[in-house]
Homo-oligomer: A and B are copies of this chain.
Amino acid sequence: MSAAIKIGIVGYGNLGRGVVSAIGQNPDMELVGVFTRREPASFGSEGGLTFLHVSDLEGYKDRIDVLILCGGSATDLPEQGPFFSKSFNTVDSFDTHAKIPEYFEQVNDSALTAGKVAVISTGWDPGLFSINRLMAESILSEGTDYTFWGKGVSQGHSDAIRRVQGVKGGVQYTVPVNEVIDQIRQGQTPELSTRQKHLRQCFVVAQEGADQEQIRQEIVSMPNYFSDYDTTVTFISEEELRRDHSQMPHGGFVIRSGVTGTNTRQIIEYSLKLESNPEFTASVLVAYARAAYRLNKEGASGAKTVFDIAPGYLSPKSAAQLRKELL
């Protein structure tokens, strides 16, 4: 085996922790350090890791093969993606769908100039789900596509709940409507409104003395977040919130129902059932870090998405081994 791929991590939230763990599961990878904007010393020797300040990255240009960017899409990545791809091969999970084309262009400029590979917008959606949408549409050119998410915690919706007056804490689950998924699996291709595809379940801790009915009303009628959905609000104690709702499960389904020949029905389905959304996303990022490293070794540069990367690059196995064992 050749030398391990040297990985740097920027950001140490849930995703960054997941990447640390995933690197430990892949013997062809080695963690150089975790780079943070906080005071590195504040982490002590947590997990036996090396913490460094992001401003030190400059000195690591020749010591890191791929930098995995674990910041958020709202404010971190729009700065970090274009900046770090000037010096490193990078991988990120930028997921603001509407801004992907613009983000791609910026990162592409940096990475092309630097001769580096920057894999953007990977994870499971965008990422694995996108690949499945593309492949299913390319194979069944006449058909209907469905993406369902959940059951899983939506961070954005949970934040929205917590901003309601009188709310002390809470969490929101996006729940796909299984009856509809079953219909599609049976070959039906219904046109579905937002309300028919997903439910929203809120678990809320109210402040002492708060009017629960008023909180409920405010949540279910909130535009963009809840008003287009059937939303349930269940009041629970702080203890229950901590005990029963501290995990971050997620998942979902991509289904294409198409026809070939004379109305022959063909159904392709891809699904994920995840006990931890950030740990799974991290595992996807690490596999794409391997791809970024190998593509760059072969002379590739510029921004890449999951659409641009052949599956074989994700595996530590050789092409001959893959043909023999997995084809």
Contact = CB atoms under 8 A, between A and B. Distances in A.
Contacts of A22: 260
A322 interface: yes
A22 B140 CA distance: 9
Contacts of A301: none
B319 A311 contact: no
Contacts of A43: none
A131 B266 contact: no
A273 B269 contact: yes
- How many copies the complex holds: the figure is 2
Interface stretch (A201-209, A227-235, A280-288): A280-288
A18 B266 CA distance: 13
Interface residues of A, number: 65
A187 to B, nearest CB: 8
Contacts of A319: 307-308
Interface stretch (A63-71, A97-105, A155-163): A97-105
A3 interface: no
B260 A324 contact: no
A327 B121 contact: yes
A178 interface: no
A50 interface: no
11 contacts: A121-B327, A133-B326, A139-B280, A185-B273, A260-B280, A268-B271, A268-B272, A306-B327, A307-B319, A307-B322, A307-B323
